[in-house]
A and B are shown apart, each in its own frame.
Chain A
Amino acid sequence: MIVDEKSVKLSYRITYAMAVVSCVFSLLVGMLMVSSLMAVRTSSPLDMPEIDQLRAVLKENPTDEILRNKIRDLDLVSRRFYFTGLTSLRTGSFLLLGGVIIMLVSLKTMASLRRRLPNPREYPASPDMLQSAATARWVIAGMWVALITGAVVIGIMERSGLEAVVPSNGVPIKTAQPVTMPVSGQMVSTTVSPAQPVTASPDAAEVLKNWPGFRGPLGNGVSAFTNMPVSWDVKSGRGIIWKVKVPLSGMSSPVVWGNRVFLTGASETKREVYCYDIANGTLLWTARVDAAPGNTNKVPQVSKDAGYAAPTPVTDGVNVYAIFANGDITAIDFCSKKIWDVDMGLCNNTYGYSASLAIHKGKIIVQYDSVDADGKVSEMIALDAATGKKAWSITRPVADSWPSPIVAQTGKGAQLISMANEWIIAYDPVAGKELWKVKCAGSEVTPSPIYAGGLVIASIAAEQVYAIRPDGQGDVTKSHVVWRSEDGVADVSSPVSNGELVFFAHSGGTLTCIEVASGKIIWDKSLDGEFYASPGLAGDRLYLVTRNGEVFIVRAGRKYEEIGKTSLGEPSDCSPAFVDGRIIMRGATNLFCIGNK
């Protein structure tokens, strides 16, 4: 025991000495570190006013060699000071850590050597619980009062200047999400077609930023963006942001809202709506469109060139609305949930139902033209976007047709313009009343009308182009047709116009430019390809897609000028969609997003 006690005493002394030494060492290192920290702070190379001053002086006297050397010396000294300071800080921190560890170890050993058995007899009597609980209550209550008072005093003191800081006048407090224009692409104001005023609805700017339906926000193939790519290469992937295979084929064109690209595809038995992420082409969801209530699952007779999913869907930013060749129309929300579906009945259509949907103020407009048989007549139908209930319908004295209706903002308000075999008819899209009509010839009417430069321009295949002033009443064939042109008649694809000039692409490969105001032909050009897809216009660039998937980019000007020619690498009959620097195109099998990454 005695020996033990001795050795314990000895080791206690040793650890004591170690603790003292390491403590002194750590303190010394700590002090040295403080001094090197000061060195680093004072010699920060970011803040060297002396050198800057000397440099300024040197600029005045560029021949002063002494000054030059002085700068060099000063620079060297300060940098050396700084970096050695940093190194010594680093070394110091390691040394300090070591010192502290040794100190801790020796102190712990000391403590364990001195450990004694606890002696409860020395412990004070346990305190009065009631007394301490009462004190605790007061203490907690006191702290609470102090906290509350502190918070209120600070809050009131700082609040005094609040109203001055954020003015409530003129600031739309309600809009939490500030609507910012796309930063990367210059928005062209809607003066692209001067006669087309922006729709009065509050989110007109939002609509313009997107591509909500067939042929874009205005139904005329014109984009509000100008920053579209002009060259890409599918093979090498240059300029292709993404390319994805579309599960089911279709002639419908892509539509875009925000980050989403919508597309439809169908086969004899299956009908699907796809939603892609515009950023990377991820298929966000697929919505199977089952037969709507009442549908007898009859397979429509369609031609190869129309297919089962020819009509392009339309979106209002809330839902996407899609119609298929079997007459089923459905509304699906942005998360793939079905909102409603309606069976319109099979359409007696020679090639298969193809008219895309239009949308106006919460109404989905369907041009449902069919051959007059089985008691079916051609109709223009408006469905309520929220419920799918019929808002209005009006029969039409026309046979089956393939153009899509458009809603144009004319000087006389919004007009729903449709064309079909024998009649070009405008309706009031709200009330569903006929406004004016123009008699035309033609048998198979396919291109859609456009509204440009104050005129409705309709290209009747195998006949002529009509330009109509949309301010008449009744049959205005004699009075309001401003000009007719037999040149440039497009037979499948729809025309596109910048307000001044209108361009027609014939399936035979001829591109014709006609002046909107006069109907005078400006130029025509034979291109190597067949045009089925409707051309698009972004800025002054005309995008024309041939059936083989060649893309001609032509300047929309008074002289023919080819800006570029490239290819999709696969056939395409679908019209491209344009949004902020990106073109979305559908080929026979793939969906492409073209633009700068």
Chain B
Amino acid sequence: MRKILVMLFLLVSTLTCFAENRFPKPQFEKGYTLPETTAPGPRSILLESVDVVVLLAALSLATWLVLKKRSRRGVFLLTIFSVIYFGFWKKGCICSIGAIQNVTLWLFDNQYVLPLSAAAYFILPLVFALLFGRVFCAAVCPLGTIQDLMILFPVKVPSCLAQILKLIPYVYLGLGALFAATGTAFVICRLDPFVPIFRLSGKLPILMTGIVLLLIGIFVARPYCRFLCPFSVLLNWMSKLSKWHATITPDECVKCRLCEKSCPFDAIQIPNINQVAEPRISGVHRLIMLLILLPFLAIGGGWAGSRLDVVLARENPTVRLAEAIQQNDQSELKLMVFEKEAFDGSGMKKEDLYVQAHTLRNKFRKGGWFMGGFLGVVFGCSLIGVSIKRTRDSYEPDRGACLSCARCFMSCPKEHQRIKKLNQVNC
């Protein structure tokens, strides 16, 4: 008896299993083979690790070309390779610039799983910059190299304007890190102007920005790299400390001025040993004033940044939804209909959502303090930076701004001498 019961039960349970479908699958009289649901896999699972290897190889090659071979031609060829491989073939993601956000999110969110490739993309260029200067910018970064190919008639950006523009990357980095740390969005990826070009499709405004930047880049060399790129901030710092940075001349500088105009990025510092110096006392005085000002700049910046919490938090979908639901309740508005529908379906309570939104806002307030403080310090430091006069008796690349593109090498007569000697030895 029990066995029959069990069998009955099993039958019923299997039936209920099928009965979940409103329309049971028919029993076809003729032979009908059930087509398979296709599931094309991602284009290449291996690609990610291959990419890291290629990145490492390209960085090493760039280093060798810039520091050892001193060959602009080699750098140029590597540039073309990078545009094709990291740009058009790899279609942009993931790139070192975007990897900043992955790393930031990883540092702030215990549950975010950092892809090893993102870590490599973040860390390798920095290590290379710390040792050899910005060789990553010279010939590996797809965003930089595509602009590098557009440099045709470079003009000098007026130094006042350049001073302002140079500070934009810090603001961009601060905002990007804030949005990433709060788990809100990866804005740097979203606003990446060249990815749509590599993919030959994308959001129209971003695509247009990319095209405009490239067109500007004909005259203002690599505008994104110099005046926007958030990763350039980190690379700039690392490169300033670099151990083996590229030099204009392979030998002693003879101050022939031939290289003065060879850098399209205005990164060559001219000797200032003959300049009229300011009285020492007034310089020291100003420096002390600026040093006193620094903490005030930081606090002021932090305060202003924390004021932006509501505005910035609005970028977060949870906060946006909470605000929309609140406004829907208060008036007859119907905002974010689909989000509301999904929220109602999730069974979550409104109060919980408000609490979440509030917590996020608090995070933004705290983050705003840090971001503003950071910007205050950056502005203060750049004020100090322009006020400190360092004596230079030769033509040197500005280690932070120099992209190690090897353009200036051939303008140095000493370089010609070196090559001639090399050829003689070879003969």
* Residues on A facing B (Cβ under 8 Å): 37, 90, 93-94, 97, 104, 107-108, 111, 118, 120, 123, 126-130, 132-133, 135-137, 139-141, 143-144, 147-148, 151-152, 154-156, 158-159, 162, 164-167, 170-173, 175-176, 178-181, 183, 230-231, 528, 562-565
Surface stretch bound by A, among B101-109, B229-237, B303-311 = B303-311
B354: chain A residues within 8 A (beta carbon) = 166-167, 171
Q: Closest CB of chain B to A82's CB: distance in Å?
A: 15
Please give me the residue from chain B that is nearest to A154 by CB atom.
B311
Interface centre among A118, A144, A179, A181 (most CB of B within 10 A): A144
Given contacts A136-B159, A136-B386, A139-B164, contact A562 B352 (CB under 8 A): no
Residues of B bordering A, CB below 8 Å: 2, 5-6, 9-10, 13, 149-150, 152-153, 159-160, 163-164, 167, 171, 200-201, 204, 256-262, 270, 272, 275-276, 278, 297, 300-301, 304-305, 307-311, 322-323, 326-327, 330, 346-349, 351-359, 361, 372, 375-376, 379, 382-383, 386-387, 389, 411
Please tell me if the beta carbons of A171 and B351 are within 8 angstroms of each other in the complex: yes
Q: Are B201 and A165 in contact, CB atoms less than 8 angstroms apart?
A: no
Complex CA–CA separation, A538 to B121 (angstroms): 51
Q: Could you say which residues of chain B place their CB within 8 Å of the CB of A156?
A: 307
| Residue ID in chain A nearest B411 by CB atoms | A118
Chain A residues with CB under 8 Å of B276's CB are: 130
Q: Is the CB of B359 within 8 A of A144?
A: no
Q: Which residue of A lies closest to B323 (CB)?
A: A165
Cβ-defined partner of A118 (8 Å) among B260, B311, B347: B260
Nearest B residue to A155 by beta-carbon distance? B307
| Bound CA–CA A128/B272 (angstroms) | 10
Q: Which of B257, B346, B358 contacts A171 (CB 8 A)?
A: B358
CA A334 to CA B296, docked complex, whole Å: 45
For the complex, what is the distance from the CA of A135 to the CA of B349, rounded to whole Å?
A: 57
Known: A166-B322, A180-B348. A108 touches B152 (CB 8 A): yes
Rounded to whole angstroms, the CA-CA distance of A108 and B80 in the bound complex is: 14
Distance (whole angstroms) from the CB of A209 to the closest CB of chain B: 15
> Hey, which chain A residues are within 8 Å of B327, CB to CB?
165
Among A132, A147, A176, the residue within 8 A (CB) of B159 is: A132
Extra contacts besides A178-B349, A563-B9 (10): CB < 8 Å = A107-B152, A118-B258, A129-B389, A130-B275, A162-B310, A173-B358, A178-B348, A178-B356, A528-B2, A565-B6
Assembled-state Cα–Cα distance A108/B154 (Å) = 12
The 7 closest A-B pairs by CB, nearest first: A155-B307, A178-B352, A120-B257, A151-B304, A136-B386, A93-B200, A148-B304
B31 to chain A, nearest CB (A): 28
Q: Which of A93, A104, A159 is B149 in contact with, Cβ under 8 Å?
A: A104
- In contact, B301 and A123 (Cβ under 8 angstroms): no
Question: Most chain-A Cβ atoms within 10 A of its Cβ — which of B153, B275, B310?
Answer: B310
In the complex, A230 Cα to B17 Cα: how many Å?
A: 12
The distance in angstroms between the C-alpha atoms of A173 and B352, with both chains bound, is 9
Give the shortest distance, in Å, between A572 (CB) and chain B (any CB).
19
CA distance A464 to B375 in the complex (A): 79
B307 engages A152 (CB within 8 Å): yes
Task: Write out the residue numbers on chain B whose beta carbons fall within 8 Å of the beta carbon of A175.
Answer: 355
User: Cα distance A230–B13 when bound, in Å?
Assistant: 9
A180–B379 alpha-carbon span in the complex (Å): 45
- Contact: A178 with B372, CB < 8 Å? no
In contact, B311 and A139 (Cβ under 8 angstroms): no
The minimal Cβ–Cβ distance linking A203 to chain B, given in whole angstroms, is: 17
Name the A residues within 8 Å of B411 (CB-CB).
118
Least CB distance, A333 to chain B, in whole angstroms: 17
How distant is the Cα of A162 from the Cα of B354 in the complex, in angstroms? 12
Nearest chain A CB to B275 CB, angstrom units: 5
The reply to whether B262 and A178 form a contact with Cβ atoms under 8 Å apart is: no
B residues less than 8 Å from A126 (CB atoms): 270, 272, 275
CB distance from B335 to the nearest CB of A (A): 12
- Whether the Cβ atoms of B301 and A133 lie closer than 8 Å is no
The one of B200, B297, B304 in contact with A94, judged by C-beta atoms closer than 8 angstroms, is B200
Residue of A nearest to B359 (CB): A176
Chain A residues, Cβ within 8 Å of B359 = 176
Choose among B307, B322, B379 the residue with the greatest number of A CB atoms under 10 Å from its CB: B307
CA distance in complex: A165, B323 (Å): 6
Contact sample, A vs B, 6 pairs, CB 8 Å cutoff: A135-B159, A144-B301, A155-B307, A166-B358, A170-B351, A565-B9
Known: A118-B261, A152-B304, A176-B359. A130 touches B278 (CB 8 A): yes
Residue ID in chain B nearest A527 by CB atoms: B2
How many angstroms between the C-alpha atoms of A126 and B275 in the bound complex?
Answer: 9
